[in-house]
Amino acid sequence: MVEQARVGGECPFVACVPSKAMLRSARVWQTAENPEWSALFSGRVLASVAYQEAVRRRDRIVHGRDDSGSAMALGVSGATLLRGRGRVRGSGVLEVVGAACGTTEIGFRDLVISTGSEPIRPRIPGLDGVPVWTSDEALSISEQPGSITVIGGGPVGCELAFLFAAFGSRVQLVQRNERLVPREEPEASAVLADTLAGQGDGCVIRG
């Protein structure tokens, strides 16, 4: 296996797992203000404190974005891991260039290409002049923004909008389609819109 980033891909470290960890923390923290459950809590910490606790829990769950455990499990399974970037050099020949392995050529009979994806920055005038996070960065940083604009009302955009608004950040969610998560059923879009609107003035949806 040739991998230039983390073994396991984005999901365990900077995508699905940390986002669900943060969302869970946000919902648990919000429960303390619900009259139905508030008697079960001794108190409710400030939003800024709750956010930092959520970040610490997130980082524990994703092992500090350290993939050494996944790499070790790969070795136990009998696979050889080469840290670097692969390039097909000819029929049955793969060149791997990496800091640890230098330049290495390996032979293959069957080749599976599973490169994953990378975040892209949209071509929006003026975007280069303001601080910008990709979703990976937003789910890795410990800083809580006072205000943030989320571009895109797909699943990831809605998750980010909710978790930041839940912890008290002022959020604007910009969506070019007529509804959120347009690939899902209209009812799901309506439920998401109501949920985000339920965060009060903390989350505003704009077209």
Q: Same domain for 19 and 81?
A: yes
| pLDDT tens digits along 69-126 | 999 999 999 999 999 999 999 999 999 999 787 899 999 999 999 888 888 888 889 9
Output b/e per residue, 131-169; b: 16+ Cβ within 10 A: eebebbebbbeeebeeebebebbeebbbbbbbbbbbbbb
Residue 177 lies in a domain: yes
Residue range 13-67, pLDDT digits in tens = 999 999 999 999 999 999 998 899 989 988 889 999 999 999 999 999 999 999 9
Let me know whether 20 and 94 are in one domain.
yes
- The answer to whether residues 90 and 7 belong to one domain is yes
Give me the helix-helix angle, 47-61 and 16-31, nearest 10°: 140
Structural domain for 176, as ranges = 145-206
- For position 199, which CATH number holds? 3.50.50.60
**Looking at the structure, do residues 26 and 69 belong to the same domain, yes or no?**
yes
Do 109 and 149 fall within a single domain? no
Domain match, 11 and 69 both: yes
- 126 falls within a domain: no
Is residue 122 situated within a structural domain?
Answer: no
Mean pLDDT over the full length of the chain: 92
Indicate if 103 and 35 belong to the same structural domain: yes
pLDDT for 204 beyond 90: no
% of the chain exceeding 70 in pLDDT: 99
**108 and 163 housed in the same domain:** no
